[in-house]
Structure 1
């Protein structure tokens, strides 16, 4: 099984990095072919270029070799893992840019269905999203409605062919102790292992 694991956090040594390393270690320990990307460390070019806008054909042209690499790679994956913090109810800009530049027509979806909905093209039928947050769950539920849940489960992943979306939020990270973080890392490893269930993800 080939799994892509993507980290979006600019500070080395962050808890997001620890989650990323735990997931990668678990997947590799289970014999997976793991493709890893620390998007910030790699300097992924998040800004959509002008020549990529205007038409479906333009969106499909990747002038940047790094973007072209990611587009070719994502089409080969069986599962996706995203690790990122909740910043203002959104993923960090580098990950937003990655989605906008990699999940393009002809790579992640195609247009033209009778219902006007995009049809997913990715073979990765399942995804795991691990988020960190400093907003208490009660406040987020009452004031914001968990916008990241809508981003991943409603706005992005279903349209590229991912039918099994699993998401875990670790909160609140600031001020959390070593014991709690150890529990969170163990949870991340369990979730990564569960992602390898070879049953039909459409039945999950």
Structure 2
């Protein structure tokens, strides 16, 4: 099974990095072919160019070699894993830019008409989103309504053809204990392993 694992956190040594490494190690240990991408360390440019917003044909032609590589790889995946913090109810800019530049028409989906339903083009059947947050669950749900759930489970992933979307939130990271973090890493490993079932 070919799985892409994407990390979006700029600070080495963050808990997001620990989750990323635990997931990659678990999947590789179980025989998965893993494409591991630390987007910040790779210097992925999140800025969508004007040329990438044109026609479907223009958008599908990556002018950036790194973007072209990511587009080719994502098209061949069986599952995707995203690891990122919740910043302002959104993924960090590097991951938002990755979505906008990589999951483009002709690569990740197609539309018959502008008003039509999208047809997902990705072969990946499953996705796992592992988030960290410093907002307590009750406050987030009462005040914000869990915007990351909407982004991943209603907007992005079904649009490109991924129907099995799983998500786990680790919170609150800022005041967590070492024991809590170890338990969260174990949970991340179990959730990643479940993608192989």
Provide TM-score, normalisation by structure 2.
Answer: 0.98
The aligned counterpart of 1:165 is: 165
Q: Is the counterpart of residue 179 in structure 1 residue 188 in structure 2?
A: no
Q: How many residues align?
A: 197
**Equivalent-residue separation in structure 2 for 1:6 and 1:53 (angstroms):** 24
Give the 4+ runs in structure 1 shifted more than 4 A: none
Match of 1:23, SS state, is helix
Q: Cα distance, 1:155 vs. partner?
A: 0.5
Match of 2:167, SS state, is strand
The aligned counterpart of 1:188 is: 188
Q: Is the counterpart of residue 70 in structure 1 residue 77 in structure 2?
A: no
Q: Is the counterpart of residue 40 in structure 1 residue 40 in structure 2?
A: yes
Match of 2:6, SS state, is strand
Q: Cα distance, 1:162 vs. partner?
A: 0.3
Q: Cα distance, 1:114 vs. partner?
A: 9.8
The aligned counterpart of 1:130 is: 130
Provide TM-score, normalisation by structure 1.
Answer: 0.95
Q: Cα distance, 1:54 vs. partner?
A: 2.6
The 3 A distance-change label for structure 1 pair 114 and 9 is closer
Q: Cα distance, 1:187 vs. partner?
A: 0.2
- Provide, for residues 91-133 of structure 1, a one-character-per-residue CA deviation record: whole Å limited to 9, x for no partner: 0000000000000011100110697011000000100000000
**Equivalent-residue separation in structure 2 for 1:114 and 1:50 (angstroms):** 20
**Equivalent-residue separation in structure 1 for 2:39 and 2:72 (angstroms):** 16
Match of 1:128, SS state, is strand
**Equivalent-residue separation in structure 2 for 1:146 and 1:186 (angstroms):** 24
Unaligned runs of at least 5 residues, structure 1: 198-204
The aligned counterpart of 1:15 is: 15
Match of 1:132, SS state, is strand
The answer to whether the 8 A contact 1:113-1:119 is kept is no
**Equivalent-residue separation in structure 1 for 2:16 and 2:114 (angstroms):** 41
**Equivalent-residue separation in structure 1 for 2:40 and 2:169 (angstroms):** 21
**Equivalent-residue separation in structure 1 for 2:18 and 2:103 (angstroms):** 26
The aligned counterpart of 1:139 is: 139
The aligned counterpart of 1:201 is: none
